[in-house]
Structure 1
């Protein structure tokens, strides 16, 4: 079981998966409580457009995809608010167009960076020390954002109208959350993959809601569940030779099933 830890790429992969799991668990709480689980799915597809653009123009993946993802998040937020268009509709239009553009670019010009399959399903091969640093940095940023804007995030999540009446700039809080979410998806994309990021965001948060009784406890529990599924999933991924994102999500699904079954009697 410890043999894989002799390889640098595997150690980096485990670190990234664990940190990414904690990051997705933390940010996923706000997404699920707002009833916007589709947002994580949509933004992951949107960031894929940046992945393709980075491959095409041969610039750093994190730079191109990061700018692309944050820009998409801001456009979604602006479109949803300015014309009274529902957020789900704005997400559908912007993110699917971005994903389609990414596929078109990779099909026509080919990929000069990380492989197409790795972007879609995640991979532990080629995980660099830079990836560990980026995920750790985004996790620190997310924690700082939550701690410094805790009350504003809490109010806007549960009752945005009361928050606005209380003088909280709801629009700015939404933009902050969208930017943090975009960066979280960007940082975890190569490990979890475009098609599975949404599950990594939602599952730890849902499990935490079944276990935690208060919002303050919900956040660390979701982060711990995410980190645990990331660590276990990455180790299993190596031994069963299944893409890392797939294995991490399946481990999360098993955890969800066990917790759901174990807590079912308390909800009757």
Structure 2
């Protein structure tokens, strides 16, 4: 039994996959707390689709897909934020229009011009085999940047998350803080593209944070607990991916969904009934 579990660790590609999946889970869990508490779960789903448009465009013109998709995703996030803040249409409508159009454009570009980068299926659902050393270092850099932003801008992010109107009056530049969060979110989605895929990354952002919220009402505790849950789901999900021969993103999300179901049954979802403001205490 133990030999079977340890068998895949003899392969270099699997070790890379485990490292990336664990870091990706922790990163998504950390960023996901802000996404969930701000009621932005849909934007995580939308941005992942928008980034796929950048991935396709980069593949067609021969540009590094990390750079191209990153610029495209950040531009989409800023566009969504600007449209929503202008109150011309609702934020959900802005997300729906911009991100689905970007995803459709990506599919069209790959269909017409073909794919010169990572495989289409790997981009959509994640793949153990497609993970390279560059992916490991990219994810490590994004994780370090995200942690640095959370630590150095902790109070501003906290204030803008729970009371943006008062934060704006109190001197916190909410628009700039929101843009910084959108940048971090875009980079997190981009960095986890190879292991989770664009169609499933939203779940890895939301599930750990929701589970953490059911377990604690303290914001600081929620941050590290969500990161830990995400890391464990990534580690377990990647191992299941190898043994079941199923795309890594699929098994990571299913692992998270299982954890969510167990915690929901044990707690009755009590944490989800608390007002978001209680998480500051």
TM-score by length of 2: 0.92
Partner residue in 2 for 1:65? 69
Aligned mate of 2:154, from 150, 153, 176: 150
Partner residue in 2 for 1:107? 111
Partner residue in 1 for 2:211? 207
Flag structure 1 segments of 5+ consecutive residues without an equivalent: none
* Cα contact 2:52–2:198 (8 A) shared by 1: yes
Dislocated runs of 4+, deviation >4 Å: 265-268
Flag structure 2 segments of 5+ consecutive residues without an equivalent: 274-281
Aligned mate of 2:56, from 32, 47, 52: 52
Partner residue in 2 for 1:243? 247
Partner residue in 2 for 1:226? 230
Secondary structure, counterpart of 2:171 in structure 1: coil
Structure 1 residue 14 displacement after superposition: 0.6
Cα-to-partner distance string for 1:173-230 (whole Å, 9 max, x where unaligned): 1000001000000000111111111100000000000112300100000000000000
Structure 1 residue 262 displacement after superposition: 1.5
Partner residue in 1 for 2:194? 190
Q: Distance in 2 between matches of 1:235 and 1:10?
A: 9
Cα-to-partner distance string for 1:140-179 (whole Å, 9 max, x where unaligned): 1111111111111111111111111211111001000001
Cα-to-partner distance string for 1:24-66 (whole Å, 9 max, x where unaligned): 0000100110111000000000000011012111221111111
Structure 1 residue 83 displacement after superposition: 4.7
Cα-to-partner distance string for 1:74-94 (whole Å, 9 max, x where unaligned): 111122223543221211111
Q: Distance in 1 between matches of 2:132 and 2:32?
A: 25
Secondary structure, counterpart of 1:125 in structure 2: coil
Q: 1:15 to 1:25 in 2, by over 3 A?
A: same
Q: Distance in 1 between matches of 2:46 and 2:140?
A: 23
Q: Distance in 2 between matches of 1:106 and 1:131?
A: 22
Partner residue in 2 for 1:176? 180
* Alignment pair present for 1:22 and 2:5: no
Q: Distance in 2 between matches of 1:228 and 1:265?
A: 21
Partner residue in 2 for 1:6? 10
Cα-to-partner distance string for 1:86-113 (whole Å, 9 max, x where unaligned): 2212111111111011000001011111
Decide which moves more: 78-87 or 136-145: 78-87
Secondary structure, counterpart of 1:124 in structure 2: coil
